[in-house]
């Protein structure tokens, strides 16, 4: 009889079954085809040197999470990059499309596994990045409007785009020229 | 489990620094990365969460003492910066010869219980509510700031708790530093505790007024996808009546321990284990409740406490 209260949390736990799963919205190929329909791209893995990592960190204020970068180059100088930023619990995988001059053509969310914040997939929010160049402020509530229920995701994607624009300016574009 | 490669050593160092700073005399809302310390993390508007807390306040001066505090909570985001919660509070106590007099008495033992006998009992403690208002978000501002209000109503205790919550995120939001300043005014019914200095006096069953003040500090580092670990320090102070004057102060006690947190898409759990590491008493009655450098009596336990929180976020 005395143990009856201990049964309450156990019952509540059992009554709600776990529902952990990853959500992949787009593959890299699907995202690239959405951004650059029908265009041919060549994949390469870029390894950042310690000096490049330092330069990117200094230029963007954000340290790369990895020294490996997944890059696809188009025939006319377009670039398509797949990278990750930290979400609340897991990494958010996103893709960035750049034109030959280094301006953002599109941002796509490929994989998102968080309970809240998937509003960053909304086209209207992602459209804020279109046309941004390296050197743009890319700061929440300045040139990028926040979604209040998705602040962490908005912040980290914004920082991720800023970091990749710096990476493009320092590492990728010079090689294209 | 995917471990983060980047600045783990820096994170560990920062945790150590935060904890060393926390030794100065002095804690989800949303998903809780700490066992005892609150953060400014709130549920988005229209979202809700269920939480179950199980806290074992374990060990006093002798023999057996396990005071299980259970709390079932439902939280709801009224706006993105305002959250409301409701709790059911209940407990289960198993005590035998626990006190400094080596009898069954003190913390949560009914005032009319025979101290010569062991005690096991369950009790519904009451209900409480919480309202959390976030003023600054740690993701957008240099610090996060929130205010917390918790009225509680029960047959044994009635009180009002106010908490100021400050949060600082570092290392790409992987390191969370949090501080809470808590003040609680309470009316509490006495236990069966007998003052060792006046053993012929009957235990006092009447309600008495008390004020509690806490400074809580914590650091939690997300070392891998889903997983965080950290340290928490609580400095708990108790005063007679509704006063924070030192002349009314009964004691000051410190609790320190690690925590471990797992957060999934819907589920999370947090485990923390806080041990009493130091206590200072300011009255003769409180001094008589010290044993092996720790304060017991109606106040505290060796482990205060071992806490498990489990939460589920609804769609």
Q: What is the pLDDT of residues B63-103, one digit of tens each?
A: 999 999 999 999 999 999 999 999 999 999 999 999 999 99
Say yes or no: B136 contacts chain A, CB-CB below 8 A.
no
Q: How far apart are CA B83 and CA B104, in angstroms?
A: 41
Helices A151-167 and A50-60, packing angle to 10 deg:
120
Residue A12, in any domain of the structure: no
Distance from CA of B267 to the nearest CA of A (A): 7
What backbone phi and psi angles, to 5 degrees, belong to A13? -65, -45
Task: Please indicate whether, in this complex, the C-beta atoms of B174 and A86 are within 8 angstroms of each other.
Answer: yes
In sign, the C-alpha dihedral spanning B34, B37, B39, B45 is positive
**For chain A, what is the mean pLDDT?**
88
Task: Please indicate whether, in this complex, the C-beta atoms of B140 and A141 are within 8 angstroms of each other.
Answer: yes
Give the bridge partners for A111, in sequence order: A24, A93
Give the bridge partners for B303, in sequence order: B58, B275
Dihedral in degrees, nearest 10, Cα atoms B41, B45, B51, B55: 30
Best interface-test mutation with A: which of B264, B270, B308 has the largest number of A CBs within 10 A? B264
Residue range B258-292, pLDDT digits in tens: 999 999 888 999 999 999 999 999 999 999 999 99
Query: Cβ(B125)–Cβ(B87) under 8 Å?
Result: no
Query: Cβ(B67)–Cβ(B306) under 8 Å?
Result: no
**For chain B, what is the mean pLDDT?**
89
Nearest CA in chain A to B2: A90
Name the DSSP class of A169: I
Say yes or no: B102 contacts chain A, CB-CB below 8 A.
no
Q: What percent of chain A has a predicted confidence (pLDDT) above 70?
A: 85
Residue B2, in any domain of the structure: no
B70: preceding bond cis by omega (within 30 degrees): no
What are the residue ranges of helices labelled H in chain A?
4-15, 28-35, 50-60, 123-126, 151-167, 173-176
Q: State mean pLDDT over B131-145.
A: 96
Q: How far apart are CA B67 and CA B95, in angstroms?
A: 8
Domain that holds residue A118: 21-176
Distance from CA of A20 to the nearest CA of B (A): 6
**Per-residue confidence (pLDDT) for residue B156, from 0 to 100:** 84
**Per-residue confidence (pLDDT) for residue B67, from 0 to 100:** 96
| A18: chain B residues, CB-CB within 8 Å | 264, 266-267
Task: Please indicate whether, in this complex, the C-beta atoms of B45 and A149 are within 8 angstroms of each other.
Answer: yes
Residue A162, in any domain of the structure: yes
CATH number (domain holding residue B242): 2.40.128.130
Best interface-test mutation with A: which of B140, B174, B220 has the largest number of A CBs within 10 A? B140
Task: Please indicate whether, in this complex, the C-beta atoms of A16 and B312 are within 8 angstroms of each other.
Answer: yes
Say yes or no: B9 contacts chain A, CB-CB below 8 A.
no
**Per-residue confidence (pLDDT) for residue B108, from 0 to 100:** 86
Whether residue B27 has pLDDT greater than 60: no
Residue B1, in any domain of the structure: no
> What pLDDT band is residue A117 in, cutting at 50, 70 and 90?
confident
Domain that holds residue B196: 8-313
Structural domains counted in chain B: 1
Q: Tell which residue, B88, B71, B83, has the closest CA to residue B31.
A: B83
Structural domains counted in chain A: 1
Residue range A4-43, pLDDT digits in tens: 555 555 555 444 444 445 688 999 999 999 999 999 999 9
**Per-residue confidence (pLDDT) for residue B96, from 0 to 100:** 97
Q: How far apart are CA B140 and CA B38, in angstroms?
A: 19
Residue B94, in any domain of the structure: yes
Task: Please indicate whether, in this complex, the C-beta atoms of A5 and B122 are within 8 angstroms of each other.
Answer: yes
Say yes or no: B264 contacts chain A, CB-CB below 8 A.
yes
What are the residue ranges of helices labelled H in chain B?
8-22, 284-287
Whether residue B3 has pLDDT greater than 70: no
Residue A6, in any domain of the structure: no
Give the bridge partners for B153, in sequence order: B127, B158
Residue A11, in any domain of the structure: no
Distance from CA of A152 to the nearest CA of B (A): 6
**Per-residue confidence (pLDDT) for residue B19, from 0 to 100:** 36
| A62: chain B residues, CB-CB within 8 Å | 172
Distance from CA of B61 to the nearest CA of A (A): 24
Say yes or no: B131 contacts chain A, CB-CB below 8 A.
no
Give the least confident one: A89-103, B96-110, B194-208. Answer: B194-208
Among candidates B5, B43, B265 on the partner chain, residue whose Cβ is nearest the Cβ of A20 = B265
Among candidates B6, B54, B226 on the partner chain, residue whose Cβ is nearest the Cβ of A90 = B226
Residue B99, in any domain of the structure: yes
Residue B49, in any domain of the structure: yes
Task: Please indicate whether, in this complex, the C-beta atoms of A116 and B44 are within 8 angstroms of each other.
Answer: yes
Give the bridge partners for A22, in sequence order: none
Q: State mean pLDDT over B123-137.
A: 96
**Per-residue confidence (pLDDT) for residue B16, from 0 to 100:** 39
Task: Please indicate whether, in this complex, the C-beta atoms of B122 and A2 are within 8 angstroms of each other.
Answer: yes
Give the least confident one: A37-51, B15-29, B168-182. Answer: B15-29
Say yes or no: A99 contacts chain B, CB-CB below 8 A.
no
Is this complex scored with an ipTM above 0.90? Answer: no
Say yes or no: B45 contacts chain A, CB-CB below 8 A.
yes
Distance from CA of A7 to the nearest CA of B (A): 11
Task: Please indicate whether, in this complex, the C-beta atoms of A114 and B265 are within 8 angstroms of each other.
Answer: yes
Higher pLDDT, B194 or B122: B122
Nearest CA in chain B to A112: B265
The maximal CA–CA distance of chain B, rounded, in angstroms, is: 64
CB pairs under 8 A between A and B: 99
Residue A3, in any domain of the structure: no
Say yes or no: B135 contacts chain A, CB-CB below 8 A.
no
Judging by DSSP bridges, how do beta strands B249-263 and B267-281 pair with one another?
antiparallel
**Per-residue confidence (pLDDT) for residue A17, from 0 to 100:** 40
SS3 B86: strand
Q: How far apart are CA B266 and CA B315, in angstroms?
A: 8
**Per-residue confidence (pLDDT) for residue A176, from 0 to 100:** 60
Nearest CA in chain B to A92: B225
Residue B174, in any domain of the structure: yes
């Amino acid at each position: 009889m005395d143990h009856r209260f201990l049964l309450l949390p156990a019952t509540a736990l059992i009554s709600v079954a776990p529902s952990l799963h990853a959500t992949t919205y787009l593959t890299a190929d699907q995202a690239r085809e959405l951004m650059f329909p029908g265009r041919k791209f060549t994949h390469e893995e870029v390894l950042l040197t310690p000096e490049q990592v330092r330069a990117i960190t200094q230029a963007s204020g954000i340290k790369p999470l990895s020294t490996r970068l997944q890059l696809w180059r188009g025939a006319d100088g377009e670039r398509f990059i797949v990278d990750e930023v930290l979400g609340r619990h897991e990494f958010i995988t996103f893709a960035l499309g750049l034109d030959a001059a280094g301006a953002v053509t599109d941002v796509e969310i490929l994989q998102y596994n968080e309970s809240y914040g998937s509003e960053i997939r909304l086209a209207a929010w992602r459209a804020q990045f279109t046309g941004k160049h390296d050197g743009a402020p890319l700061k929440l509530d300045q040139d990028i409007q926040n979604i209040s229920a998705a602040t962490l995701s908005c912040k980290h994607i914004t920082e991720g785009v800023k970091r990749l624009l710096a990476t493009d300016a320092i590492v990728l574009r010079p090689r294209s020229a | 489990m995917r471990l983060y490669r980047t600045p783990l050593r820096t994170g560990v160092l920062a945790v150590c620094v935060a904890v060393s700073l926390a030794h100065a005399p002095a804690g989800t809302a949303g998903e809780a990365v700490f066992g005892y310390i609150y953060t400014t993390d709130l549920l988005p508007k229209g979202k809700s969460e269920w939480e179950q807390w199980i806290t074992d306040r374990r060990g006093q001066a002798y023999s057996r003492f396990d005071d299980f505090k259970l709390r079932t909570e439902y939280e709801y985001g009224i706006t993105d910066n305002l959250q409301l919660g409701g709790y059911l509070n209940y407990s289960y106590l198993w005590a035998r010869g626990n006190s400094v007099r080596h009898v069954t008495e003190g913390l949560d033992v009914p005032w009319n219980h025979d101290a010569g006998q062991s005690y096991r009992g369950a009790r519904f403690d009451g209900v409480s509510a919480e309202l959390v208002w976030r003023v600054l978000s740690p993701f957008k501002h240099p610090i996060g700031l929130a205010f917390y209000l918790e009225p509680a109503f029960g047959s044994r205790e009635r009180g009002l708790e106010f908490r100021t919550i400050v949060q600082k995120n570092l290392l790409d939001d992987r390191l969370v530093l949090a501080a809470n300043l808590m003040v609680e005014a309470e009316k509490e019914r006495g236990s069966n505790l007998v003052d060792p200095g006046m053993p012929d006096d009957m235990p006092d069953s009447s309600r008495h007024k008390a004020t509690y003040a806490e400074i809580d500090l914590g650091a939690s580092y997300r070392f891998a996808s889903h997983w965080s670990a950290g340290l928490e320090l609580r400095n708990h102070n108790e005063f007679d009546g509704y006063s924070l004057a030192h002349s009314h102060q009964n004691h000051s006690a410190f609790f320190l321990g690690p925590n471990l947190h797992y957060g999934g898409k819907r589920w999370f759990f947090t485990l923390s284990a806080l041990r009493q590491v130091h206590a200072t008493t300011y009255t003769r009655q409180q001094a008589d409740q010290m044993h092996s450098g720790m304060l017991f009596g109606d106040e505290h336990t060796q482990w205060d406490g071992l806490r498990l929180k489990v939460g589920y976020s609804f769609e």
